[in-house]
Structure 1
Amino acid sequence: MAEGQFIIAAETPQEHLDWGRLRWMSHPPATGADQLTVIDVTLSPGKGHDFHKHPDQEEVIYVTSGRVEQWVAQEKRLLGPGDAAFIPPGVVHASFNAGSEDAHVVAILGPCIGVNGYVSVEVAGEAPWKDLRT
């Protein structure tokens, strides 16, 4: 059994996406985790991770700074620091930065699925998701 390890943000590579940045703080390749994938996410102003689902994973999205337009199924809430959303497996959701500064969230998913501990099915182009924000 592993004894654990420290994950230092400054030493963890960032991935740059069209909607922001992320750091894999814990997942199978980084830590050998099999139950929890933890992602430090930065949503750029006006951007977000569009509608998607994780068929076999629960997720908690915890806002640490900024304002986030959070969707869980077809319900929308505006979340601020300290607020969170729980998403059961297979439930479509999306997170968008609702402010003019970067928004930061911690996404925690479990159990780990696949090589990277994370499986996402994008559905933003499908009804009813493609029309919810218009």
Structure 2
Amino acid sequence: MLIKDIKKSDYFKAMDETFLTELLHPENEGVEMGCSLAHAVLSPGKKSLPHRLKKSVEVYFILTGTGVMHIDDEEGAVEPGQAVYIPPGRVQWIENVSDEDLKFLCVVSPPWREDDEEICP
């Protein structure tokens, strides 16, 4: 059985400038799974940098805070309990428009790889 505790996880500043911890990744955990799972935090008033995953699908699941999700030329308000589907190759970024941390889960399939992600101008 594999159980990961978010309270014991180390966060780092990700390429897109969110604070992130990888909760489950098959390469780190030595398990077979078709996705990776991370927890992201974005402070009030902050925005992630526009970026894209070239080949992977990503899903954000909003836990706390409210934000605006941007995918290419579309944007939409997001709040706790909502899931956002982000197709591969699309420019994406999220902004925190609340006065609390915007916290969300990031599910990437196939599992996230550094060479699949790029910051966009």
Distance 1:86 1:78 in 2: 14
Q: Which runs of 4+ in 1 moved over 6 A?
A: none
CA contact (8 A) 2:37 2:105 kept: yes
Gaps of 5+ in 2: none
Distance 1:16 1:52 in 2: 15
1:29 is displaced (CA, Å) by 4.0
Percentage identity across paired residues of the two chains? 23
1:110-129 superposed matches below 5 A: 110-114=109-113, 119-123=116-120, 125=121
CA contact (8 A) 1:50 1:96 kept: no
1:24 is displaced (CA, Å) by 0.5
Distance 1:88 1:113 in 2: 14
CA contact (8 A) 1:19 1:47 kept: no
Larger Rg over CA atoms: 1
After superposition, the C-alpha distances for 1:55-110 in whole angstroms (9 at most, x for unaligned) are 11001011111001101111111100011210111111111111121110101001
Distance 2:19 2:73 in 1: 25
Q: Which residue of 2 aligns with 1:108?
A: 107
CA contact (8 A) 1:58 1:87 kept: yes
TM-score, normalised relative to structure 1: 0.79
After superposition, the C-alpha distances for 1:99-128 in whole angstroms (9 at most, x for unaligned) are 1211101010010254x6x731110x2xxx
* TM-align CA RMSD: 2.0
TM-score, normalised relative to structure 2: 0.86
Q: 1:6 aligns with which of 3, 6, 9?
A: 3
Number of residues paired by the alignment?
A: 119
Gaps of 5+ in 1: 126-134
Task: State the AA in 1 paired with 2:10.
Answer: P
